[in-house]
Amino acid sequence: MPRNFAGLLRSLDGKPYGAYRDAVGAHDVGGGLAVSLDRAQRDPFAPPSPVRMNIPAEVAELPADALNDQRGRIAAADYLTRALADALAAEGFDRANGTGGSGRIEIDRPGQEILERSSVKLDAAGNVEIRLYAGLPASGRRIRGRAAAELLAEDLPDLVESVLREESRDPAPLRAHVELYRDQEWLRDQLPASGLVAFVGDGAILPRRSGNSDLPLEDSPIAFKSTESLRRSFTLPSGKTVTGMGIPTGVTLIVGGGYHGKSTLLRALERSVYAHVAGDGREWVITREESAAIRAEDGRAVTGVDISLFINNLPSKANTRNFSTPNASGSTSQAANLLEAVEAGAQTLLIDEDTSATNFMIRDERMRALIPDNREPITPFVDRVRSLFTRDGVSTVLVAGGSGAFFEKADLVIAMDAYRPLDVTDQARTIAGVEAPSESGSAPAKASEHARSLDARCFQPRGGHNTKPPRGRGLSAIQIGKDTIDLSALSQIVDSSQTEAIARAITLISQRREPASVRSLIEEVTALIDSEGIDRLAAGKKHPGNLARPRALDIAAALNRYRGLRLA
């Protein structure tokens, strides 16, 4: 280990870019801090080089009470990632200042969710490891050694030290972030025993700034306020009490006029499988983790799914107990999405009429009269929503403003009226002429009975030259060899670092030699991450800087969308 990192980098000045290789390794930069250059990029235009910084506990001086449980460490790491990203931007390190990406230092950039991340690793003793990416300075293809020495041996350690000094001078903001996360996750833990699938706190701000911004609406949003009959109250571990609307297990229908906030509520529920940062507006919107947004997704591939609960007697004579297609229709894709989610362990389905196939959802009396049941392959969701709950234990929260067909199926009907919920269950039942929710038709098979067995080796990249391991491509795609998995319909994947983590999870899964169900594959990955941390997905690489924990359901959804998926 060379004693003087700055001197070493300066000595490379003017040499060809490849000589940065000589600086790879761990270097003491004084004050107990170490900087590691884990790999040197090949040229200034290549992806930036992975760099780590290690700060021992006695230098970092983070508040011990924030780090004494797993949730505290997740939230504190998320907090430090944000603080470092902000400091890097404030100092201008987020901009290149030479050839290619020269001089830029990056850290993963979290959005509105607090997620388990690999960008900062904290252990229970308070030692800190920061994972960054640096564009090694160049002028043309020559090393700028003095600039590199300044950047990596001085400016970066200074910046990290000053961020940590600020935290130990005033640990209150970090503690608040940790407490908020612990409270939100505690509340999520309470939902099953409280008989709830979700909770929406009074005062929550649900609408977002725009279709491409996840920030809260600025322009006079109406705060959420529960209706009296659904109001629940929880005293959190921090001592704070929250009140709000509890959405019970069962079938919940959200109705209301157009533009009254139905989809906004459902979307908030979809995203609130994750904890949110202070000021987001959704801090006290809490949804059970095993909740799956289900939509139509025509064009997707489906491999060997039993969709016979919804689809039978297709004119093509295709076997819907083992249904495969490279190009699903609106209704078959929605049926497959739903059944795959249940197969993977979904406990709650979140469905919006806006993104559903109408013929999958309902069929009215006139249509039943015109087209006899034996000529219609689809048994609509309205005929299955109750048995999904009573036989499979799967709840549904459904937005349906355009049809009263679900009135007699719902345990609860919420009307959104100018962004405020009302309990209109009784009126809806009176209109439907029922006193309690009713099943329809013959008792169907259980949705959760069918479990496919996969040949996980199908995820090994195929074909001669292109055998690179699976990698994330932005938020919504994963590259496997020459194939791409399209994740754009999966609204609960919220961070491109989750996409990257799913790609890495697929690599682990592809090493499974024996046939396995989707459920067991995702449970194995979950158990590995639980016991060894998110770093496990990087398979022993020293620098897994850009991973964020995905939900098991979203890993399964990605597996299911792979066009090369093979059953065992």
Q: Give residues in contact with ligand ADP (CB under 6 A).
A: 206-207, 217, 221-222, 256, 258-264, 416, 419
Task: Between 349 and 416, name the residue whose CB sits nearer to ligand ADP.
Answer: 416
Q: Work out how close the CB of 260 gets to ligand ADP at its nearest, in angstroms, rounded to a whole number.
A: 4
Residue 315 contact, options Mg ion, ligand ADP, none, Cβ 5-8 Å cut-off depending on partner type: none
Q: Work out how close the CB of 159 gets to ligand ADP at its nearest, in angstroms, rounded to a whole number.
A: 38
Task: Between 122 and 416, name the residue whose CB sits nearer to ligand ADP.
Answer: 416
Contact window for Mg ion (CB under 5 A) among 6-14, 27-35, 36-44, 352-360: 352-360
d(CA 4, CA 27): 7
345: left (phi over 0), alpha (psi -120 to 50) or beta: left
Q: Work out how close the CB of 416 gets to ligand ADP at its nearest, in angstroms, rounded to a whole number.
A: 6
Q: Work out how close the CB of 254 gets to Mg ion at its nearest, in angstroms, rounded to a whole number.
A: 9
Contact 503, 471 (CB under 8 A): yes
d(CA 565, CA 310): 22
Which residue carries 């979700």 as its tokens? 198
Residue from 177, 193, 292, 189 nearest 238 by CA:
177
Contact window for Mg ion (CB under 5 A) among 36-44, 257-265, 356-364, 494-502: 257-265
Residue 256 contact, options ligand ADP, Mg ion, none, Cβ 5-8 Å cut-off depending on partner type: ligand ADP
Strands 323-325 and 348-352, by their bridges, are unpaired
d(CA 451, CA 285): 32
Residue 165 contact, options Mg ion, ligand ADP, none, Cβ 5-8 Å cut-off depending on partner type: none
Residue from 7, 44, 29 nearest 137 by CA:
44
Task: Between 120 and 204, name the residue whose CB sits nearer to ligand ADP.
Answer: 204
Task: Between 127 and 358, name the residue whose CB sits nearer to Mg ion.
Answer: 358
Contact 508, 537 (CB under 8 A): yes
H or E element, residue 243: strand 241-248
Task: Between 219 and 365, name the residue whose CB sits nearer to ligand ADP.
Answer: 219
Q: Work out how close the CB of 217 gets to ligand ADP at its nearest, in angstroms, rounded to a whole number.
A: 6
What secondary structure, in 3-state letters, does 457-523 show?
Answer: HHHCCCCCCCCCCCEEECCCEEEECCEEEECCCCCCCCCHHHHHHHHHHHHHHHCCCCCEEHHHHHH
Pair of tokens at residue 129: 């490891």
Q: Residue 213: is it exposed, middle or buried by C-beta count within 10 angstroms (0-12/13-18/19+)? A: exposed
Q: Work out how close the CB of 41 gets to ligand ADP at its nearest, in angstroms, rounded to a whole number.
A: 43
Contact 91, 159 (CB under 8 A): yes
Task: Between 123 and 354, name the residue whose CB sits nearer to Mg ion.
Answer: 354
Member of 263, 287, 291, 334 binding Mg ion (CB under 5 A): 263
Q: Work out how close the CB of 204 gets to ligand ADP at its nearest, in angstroms, rounded to a whole number.
A: 9
Residue 124 contact, options Mg ion, ligand ADP, none, Cβ 5-8 Å cut-off depending on partner type: none
Beta bridge partners of 285: 200
Q: Work out how close the CB of 270 gets to ligand ADP at its nearest, in angstroms, rounded to a whole number.
A: 12
CA separation (Å) from 480 to 461, 525, 562?
Answer: 5, 18, 9
**What single DSSP character describes residue 282?**
-
Contact window for Mg ion (CB under 5 A) among 23-31, 193-201, 260-268, 287-295: 260-268
Task: Between 32 and 404, name the residue whose CB sits nearer to ligand ADP.
Answer: 404
At residue 71's C-alpha, the angle toward residues 65 and 75, to 5°, is 85
Beta bridge partners of 106: 133
Beta bridge partners of 246: 199
Task: Between 116 and 270, name the residue whose CB sits nearer to Mg ion.
Answer: 270
Contact window for Mg ion (CB under 5 A) among 39-47, 75-83, 256-264, 478-486: 256-264
259 in contact with Mg ion (CB under 5 A): no
Residue from 242, 2, 259, 120 nearest 544 by CA:
120
Task: Between 197 and 416, name the residue whose CB sits nearer to ligand ADP.
Answer: 416
Q: Work out how close the CB of 402 gets to ligand ADP at its nearest, in angstroms, rounded to a whole number.
A: 10
Task: Between 167 and 352, name the residue whose CB sits nearer to Mg ion.
Answer: 352
257 in contact with Mg ion (CB under 5 A): no
354 in contact with Mg ion (CB under 5 A): yes
Task: Between 184 and 263, name the residue whose CB sits nearer to Mg ion.
Answer: 263
Residue 282 contact, options Mg ion, ligand ADP, none, Cβ 5-8 Å cut-off depending on partner type: none
Q: Could you say which residues in the range 124-153 bind Mg ion, by CB under 5 A?
A: none
Q: Work out how close the CB of 431 gets to Mg ion at its nearest, in angstroms, rounded to a whole number.
A: 21
E runs forming strands in 289-426: 291-293, 302-305, 323-325, 348-352, 395-399, 412-417, 420-423
Q: Work out how close the CB of 266 gets to Mg ion at its nearest, in angstroms, rounded to a whole number.
A: 8
Number of residues located near Mg ion, criterion CB under 5 A: 2
Site residues, Mg ion (CB under 5 A): 263, 354
